[in-house]
Amino acid sequence: MAERCLMAPRPMPFETVVSIAMLGGFIWAVRFLLPRAVKEHDPMALTCAVLTAAIALLLWLLIGVGTRSLSS
């Protein structure tokens, strides 16, 4: 049986930091921007909030999947 070598944890790669930032941007857009735009009845703010949330979620999914596949 091959023994597994215990190694010190690697520092967080750049992709992981960006992935966390994108997830934070998505949560910020959904929890702050979207309710504020709905409350103010501003169609431009609503459009920007939805686009921001969609782009942040898409980037998070793309970077998160790439980061997981590289670390496996």
Per residue in 11-65, pLDDT tens?
567 777 888 888 899 999 999 999 999 999 999 999 999 999 999 999 888 876 6
Asked whether the beta carbons of 35 and 53 are under 8 A apart, the reply is: no
What's the predicted TM-score (pTM) here?
0.69
The CA distance from 19 to 29, in Å, is 15
pLDDT at 69 over 70: no
Find the helix packing angle between 43-71 and 14-28, rounded to 10°.
Answer: 150
As to burial, measured by CB atoms within 10 angstroms (0-12 exposed, 13-18 middle, 19+ buried), residue 30 is middle
pLDDT band at 68 (very low <50, low <70, confident <90, very high): low
Which SS3 state, helix, strand or coil, does residue 1 take? coil
Asked whether the beta carbons of 32 and 45 are under 8 A apart, the reply is: no
Q: So what's the pLDDT on residue 17?
A: 81
Q: So what's the pLDDT on residue 60?
A: 86
